[in-house]
Structure 1
């Protein structure tokens, strides 16, 4: 009797346990979901660049002669300020000589005109030979040519006098002086290095395999200095030069630094300074992107769990591509569909099976 009651109680407990287990298995599992997005993955290529003045130039002597004044290195100049002044005394003397030559030619011209007019009248009455008229006419024309040549020579001297004073073509600073005042130089000799400190340009060299990622007008982050207090700004790509260096297999990119505001220090950056430049590399194709936490790794492969409108789970096998931060690109395997906007589980999906109901908690 006692044994029979014990068996009935044991059977009842086993049945209750089975029912409870079945209810537990079939209960909706709580999950956290995020939508699938579509976009381009971007990464950053860190390269080094060097700052240059946009209009940096070497000032040469305007004319041959002796230097009378040469600006000092470190002098900040404005556009139009005098940088070089040559000794103009030899040119002024040459100008005076040409003026006298022109004066003499004009006096001679006046005489030749009178002589030509007199002989022309005499030739009408056969009182003067035609050869005499031709001779005076020739002398008259030569004097006119001498006057024209003297006028051209005066223009040349005026141009040399203007070139004897070299002014700054733009505002900047003198970084180097090659010759001091008192030295005789020729016209092609280098005298000063004028640096543009107001329009700085970063020049960097990027591996040629990234040529398709860089375009004119692109914004590049620029930084320099120590890690505790870095100097940062942005630069706009002004030129992409698709000429590859055979050794380094790189091409040159030039980017103009943003102009500092009135409250910023104009000397924050220096010409010749090394800077760190981040070149954004955006993938050309748009891909499906999911949170890395949505990936379920198994021996048979990788899948994500799609949660449909009725909160039912479906396993979608995927191929994983490149990633950036918490986002990763995926491609559904053939015969499986996943589009942008679909929900995938990012929490609580490890034990979900196809067709299982879930409870979305977000």
Structure 2
């Protein structure tokens, strides 16, 4: 009886041992991955550029007279309308110059009258042979000198009167006083810089691109209607602006780069000259293409070349799949063959997977 019980117990132990070995060969645990569902959509071809903001117009206001500054009538950064007084010169010296010019003209006109009469009288005497050629030439020279002096006096008086009208310097355009080059009491000469007035209502992003990138852009459209762009400004994170690329420099600079300008509105003057901006220029859009993220590709990207991805199959297992890619941008690649809409490709964790490995998709984007 005891022997029979021991035999039964031994059989049970053997069965339990066999069961443990079977359990030790269970499938490996699923690997957590991120995936993306291949889908059709537009594929944008874009050029990303960065540059510096500049005001559309920076007008330098220069002195037109030689005078001392009596007062500066605007502050730095002040908005002015076209015609507003910016600066006033001391009129005293200008008035004195005009007064002296008028007196000189009056005196020299009297001398001209005298020398003209002398010349006319001696002309008749010369024609009759009463005086020599030398005597006649002396009278003619005196008359011509007096005539030239009167003309010079008239020019000086006209300039002095004109200067009197220029003692108040006015803004040539509406804008903001972005620079001031002088102080009260300074003496300036004609051509000397006084202010810079900047038209801030429109501003542009100045950027430089290579000839290769220039060849991607639709230049005819840019010249005729402009190309709409999206911009961000480093000073305002998260904000987006709309601009128009409407200028491409026709010649390259010394570094063989071409200047482009993207214009945008600036009604509130939030955008200032010198700020750093970035623009995305979409120059082509291919509609209705099957696309996947670049981060799903296992191999180096080449146009219309084979590549590999890891597909999550119906059994939630990893399947290495060869595909062929076409166009691509900074984010997506076109799939020409090898996938269909709805296929899920691994985007996160693909580097450590092996064929047939169970997967658990923890993040999926459609």
Question: Where on the TM-score scale, by shorter chain, does this alignment land: which range?
Answer: 0.5 to 0.7
How many residue pairs get matched? 271
For 2:110, what is the secondary structure of its paired residue? helix
Contact 2:78 2:176 in 1 (8 A): yes
Residue number among 322, 328, 334 corresponding to 1:328 in the alignment: 334
- 1:67 pairs with 2:69: yes
Unaligned runs of 5+ in 1: 1-33, 261-265, 303-316, 333-343, 349-362
Residue equivalent to 2:215: 212
SS of the residue 1:55 aligns to: strand
- Specify whether residues 185 and 106 from structure 1 end up closer, same or farther in structure 2 by C-alpha distance, changes over 3 A only: closer
User: What SS does the aligned partner of 1:192 have?
Assistant: strand
User: Counterparts of 2:134 and 2:251 in 1: how far apart (Å)?
Assistant: 72
Alignment of 1:249-288 (within 5 A): 250-258=257-265, 266-282=268-284
Within 5 A, what are the aligned runs for 1:207-356?
A: 207-214=210-217, 215=219, 216=222, 217-224=226-233, 226-228=236-238, 230-240=239-249, 242-244=251-253, 246=255, 250-258=257-265, 266-282=268-284, 290-292=289-291, 319-324=324-329, 328=334, 330=336, 346=341
Tell me, in whole angstroms, the C-alpha distance in 1 between the residues paired with 2:125 and 2:328.
106
User: 2:236 and 2:75 mapped to 1: Cα distance?
Assistant: 32
Give me the TM-score of the superposition, normalised by structure 2: 0.61
Deviating more after overlay: 198-207 vs 114-123: 114-123
Q: Cα deviations across residues 94-142 of structure 1 (Å, max 9, x unaligned)?
A: 2222222221221112112222333344445554444433321221122
Distance 2:88 2:44 in 1: 55
**Would the alpha carbon gap of residues 277 and 98 (structure 1) be closer, same or farther in structure 2, given more than 3 Å must change?**
same
Report the Cα distance in structure 2 between the residues aligned to 1:319 and 1:202, rounded to whole angstroms: 38
Distance 1:163 1:201, change over 3 A: farther
1:107 aligns with 2:147: no
Contact 1:49 1:205 in 2 (8 A): yes
* Residue in structure 1 matched with residue 6 of structure 2 by the alignment: none
Matches within 5 A, 1:29-48: 42-48=44-50
Give 1:192's aligned residue: 195
TM, length-normalised to structure 1: 0.62
Q: Is the 8 A contact 2:58 2:199 kept in 1?
A: yes
Pairing partner for 2:140 from 137, 146, 150: 137
**Alpha-carbon distance change, 155 to 52 in structure 1, aligned in 2, over 3 angstroms:** same
> Cα distance 1:239–1:163, how it changes in 2: closer, same or farther (>3 A)?
farther
**CA 1:92–1:268 in 2, change beyond 3 Å: closer, same or farther?**
same
The answer to whether the 8 A contact 2:326-2:333 is kept is no
SS of residue paired to 1:166: strand
